[in-house]
A and B are shown apart, each in its own frame.
Chain A
C-alpha cells in the first residue's frame, strides 16, 4: 500500500495552510504594531521637534535682539546697549549649547548651530574690540585731543607773546597762518568726528602740516632760547596733536570698520544661520508632519493591504483546500455512496494522489473491485439459483412424478395384490389339505408377504397422498382434537399420557394435524419401554402466528446420528421389535412441511424424545389438488 509522503500529505498541507493564515495574522498584527510604532515615533519626533522649534525660535529671537542691540550700539554707542548686546550674546551661546545637546550629532541643525555659535562667539570679541575702539576714540576726542588742543593753544599763545615782544612781523604773520591752519585742522577734525570723511581727515592733516611748516619757518633770534623753546613747544604740541588726531581718526575708522563691516558681516551671517535653522526646523516639522501623515496613510494602506492579502490568501487557501480536499472528498463520498449501492466504478477520482485522499480513493477502488466481485458472485449466485430453481422444479417435477408414480404404483398395485391375496386365500381354502406342509407354509408366507406388501403400499399411498388431497380449513378445538387422538390410541402398555394444551379454537387443516399428532403420539407409545412408568406429555402453545406442539416421552430415545434418518421413508432407528413400516415420521414431516411448519427432534438414546413442531394458524405450503388423480 502506498502511503502519502510527508511532503504531500493533507495533514502537512493543512498545517501549512493554517500556518500561513496564522502567519498572515501575525504579519497583520506586526504591520499594525509597526505602524503604531512609526506613528508613536513620529509623534515623539514631532514633540521633540516642537520643543526644538520653540528653542530655535527663542534663539532666532535672541539673534535678532542681539542684532538690534548691536546696531543700536553702533548708532548710539550707549554702554547700556553694549551691555545688553553682551548679555544677549552670552545667553545666546548658552541657548545654542543647550540646543546642541538636544539635537543629534548627525542632525543638519548641529552643523548650522556650530556655525552660528562660532560666529556669535567671535562676535562678542568683535563687539569688545569695537567698544574698545569707541572708548579710545571717545577718550582721544573728548579728553586727550581737547587737552592737546589747549596745549597747542597755550604754546601758540606763548610763542605769539614772544613774537610780539620781538616785533617780528614776518614771524607774526607766519604764526597767524599757523594758527589759522591749526584752526582749520581743528575744524576739519571736528567735522570728521561729526561725519567721518577722508577728505576732512586729509584736510586736517594738510592744515596741521601747514601749521607746523609755518611755525618751523618762523625765524627767531639765535640767542633767544625762550623763544626757541616756545617755538619747539608749539611744534611738539602740533605733532602730538596730529598724532592724537590720527589715532582718533584711526580709532574712528576702526570702530566704524568693526561696526559696519565685521560686526555687520557677522550679524548678517549668524542671522542667516539663525534663519536657516528656523527654516530647517520648520521644514523638519513639516517633514515630521508629512511623515506622520504618510505613516498614518501607509499604516492604513498596509493594514488594508494586509487584510486584503489575508482575505485573498485565506480565499485562495480555502479554494485550494476545497479543490485539494473537500471536492475530492465530496467526489469520494459520492463514489462511496455509489459503491455502497453496489455500483462498480471504472475510474475512481483522485486515485493517483499521494495523500490521504489518495488512500481513501484507493480504498474505494478496493471497494469497487469487491463490488465487482460481489456483483459477479451475485450474478453467479443468481445463475446458480436459477439453475437450482430449475433443478428444484425439475426435482419437484421428478418428485411429483415419483409421487404420482408411487401413488399410481401403490394405488394400482393394491388391487392386484388384493387379488393376489384373495387368490392365495382361495388356494389355501381350496387346497388346505392337498398341499404339503411346505407348500402350505409357503402359501402362508406368500399371504403374509402380500399383506406386508399391501401395508407397504398403503403407507406409500398415504405418504404420496399427503398434500394431494384437497383439504378444507375448519375450526378446530385443539384440545378436543388431542383428546380424540388419545381416544383411539391403544395404550396397552400402561403409558401415562398428559395433555398440556391451552390453545384457542383455531382455523386450520384438521385432518393433517390430527394425523401428525396421531403418528407422534402413537410412536411415543410404541417406543416407550417403561411400561406403566412411561410418560407422554403433549404440549401446545400459541407463539405469534404459529402453534407450537411438542410430544415428549421418556421412551427409548433416539441416538442423534439417526435424527435425520428417522424422517426418511422406510427408515427405522429402533432395535425394538415393533411393528411398523418406517413411513410414519416421513409422512409426519411431509404433512408439517406441506402446511409450512417445521419439525425437530431432541433426543438421545435411553433419554426419551421430544418431537416439537410448529403449525401455522393459517395454512401455508403447498397442498396439491389431487382430486383428479385420487378419484382415478
Chain B
C-alpha cells in the first residue's frame, strides 16, 4: 500500500531534505511497518538508513457492505492505531470463504445465520466475554431473545440460542463466559412499498406480509435472493394470506417446503414476481426504476430511496418482522497480537460512535445507551424512541434521510423488537430449500 500524502510529508519533515518513497510491508507477525528511506537508499535497500515510523497491527475483516464501511474503517484505524483491511462481499460468498478458509480473515461480520455454519466448521473460535469491555451493557435481546419480558419470541435462531458456547462445544442458551459472536448490529426487516402505487397501510394493523402475494401488484414484486432470508418473507406471506400454516416457521420441514414452493412456483409462472435481488443497491434500483412497487427490503435501501426523493414505506407487518442479528466472529486461525487487536476492534464497536453511526442508517446496536451520547436528541428520539423527528436528520452520507416531523416506520426500538415473527435462520432443511429455491427461481 502506498503511503498517503500526510504520512509522506511527516516522514519528509522528520528527515529534513530527504525524499519520501516509503511503502507498506506487512510484517510476519501481522503488523504493518512503514519505512521511510532517503533517495540514496532506493537503489540499494541496505545502504540507506531505515526508520520505522510506525508499526501497526493488521486486522482483516471479512463481511458485507452493511458494516464494512470506509468511514468506520478510517475512524477505527485512527482511534485504535491498527490497520484494518476490509473485504466486503456478498453474504453467501463471505460465509463460504469464512467457513472454508478461516485463515483468510481475523474477524467475520455478518448475520447470525452464519454462526452455526462457521461454528460447525470450526472456522471461528469462541470469544471471551471477559475481554469484552461493555459486555454488561449488552441488552436482553441478544442474551435472552427478548428485548422486554413481554416481547414476542421470534421463531428460528434467536441470537440467544446460538450465543453461548455450551459445555459440549455446541451453541445454546445456557450462559457461559464464551460466546460465539460479539452482539452488535441488529434490526428488523420487512418489505418496502411505494405508497404512490400501493395504498398506505396502518402499521401493525393492516400492513401485512400477505401484500407480497397480492395479485394487484403482480409483476412488481421482488424478493431478496437469499433462502435464509427471502424464504421467510415468502413463508410469512403465504401464512398471512392463509395459503399455508407452518408448524414452526423458523424450521420448515421438507413437506412444508414442498407445499410452499408448489404454490410459489405457480405464482412465479403466473408472472407475479418481477424477480429477485442480491444486493441493497439492486433492491434500490428495482424500486427506483419502477420495476417493483413492493419488495423484500433492508433498512438502508429504504433510507436511500427516501434520500433520493423516492417515497418508500418500510412496512410494519401485523404478523411481525423478520429479525436479524449481526454477528462479529473471531477466526479460529487468529492468534497473538492480531487477536488482541481484533478484541480491541470488537470493543471499539461497542464504544458508542459506531453504534451512533449505524443508527443513522437505521440499525441498532446492542448497547444503545453508550451510543446515545454520540447522537443528537432528535436523532435518539427518532431512531430509538420512535418519536417524530424534531429536525431534518442526515444519514451517514450527509444527505437528508428523514424529514422533520416524520416518525420512524414501526415506531420505537422496543416496539419494533417486540414484534418479531422469525429470525433469519439456517434451517435443518437448508440444502433441500436451496434446490427448491432454484426451482422457484427457474420457474
Contact = CB atoms under 8 A, between A and B. Distances in A.
Nearest to A253: B431
B384 interface: no
A142 B225 CA distance: 31
B245 interface: no
B122 interface: yes
Interface string A578-599: 0000000000000000000000
A256 B276 contact: no
A247 B432 contact: no
Given A261-B92, A262-B92, A256 B275 contact: no
Interface in B80-96: 90, 92-93, 96
Interface of B is mostly: helix
Interface in A212-231: none
Interface stretch (A263-271, A314-322, A492-500, A558-566): A263-271
Contacts of A129: 93
Interface stretch (A92-100, A194-202, A601-609): A194-202
Contacts of B435: 256, 260
Given A254-B100, A268-B442, A272-B275, A198 B227 contact: no
A141 to B, nearest CB: 14
A266 B276 CA distance: 9
Given A247-B121, A268-B275, A272-B275, 18 more contacts: A198-B429, A201-B120, A202-B120, A209-B169, A246-B99, A253-B99, A256-B434, A256-B435, A259-B438, A260-B434, A260-B437, A262-B92, A264-B438, A264-B441, A265-B278, A265-B441, A266-B278, A269-B275
A262 B117 CA distance: 18
Interface in B266-284: 274-276, 278
Contacts of A250: 96, 99-100, 117, 121
A250 B114 CA distance: 12
Top-4 shortest CB links A-B: A260-B438, A196-B431, A265-B225, A254-B96
A365 interface: no
A242 B121 CA distance: 9
Contacts, number: 95
B88 to A, nearest CB: 15
Interface residues on B, range: 20 to 34
Given A247-B121, A261-B437, A269-B276, A133 B96 contact: yes
Nearest to B226: A261
B325 to A, nearest CB: 20
B246 interface: no
B90 A262 contact: yes
14 contacts: A67-B442, A74-B438, A196-B432, A197-B429, A197-B432, A198-B428, A249-B121, A260-B434, A261-B225, A261-B434, A265-B225, A265-B441, A268-B441, A268-B442
Interface in B110-127: 117, 120-122
A615 interface: no
A39 to B, nearest CB: 34
B151 to A, nearest CB: 29
B261 to A, nearest CB: 12
Contacts of B117: 250, 253
A262 B427 CA distance: 18
Interface residues of A, number: 38
A405 interface: no
B134 interface: no
A71 B435 CA distance: 12
A257 interface: yes
A199 B428 contact: yes
B217 interface: no
A258 interface: yes
Given A209-B169, A253-B117, A257-B92, A264 B442 contact: yes
B430 interface: yes
A267 to B, nearest CB: 7
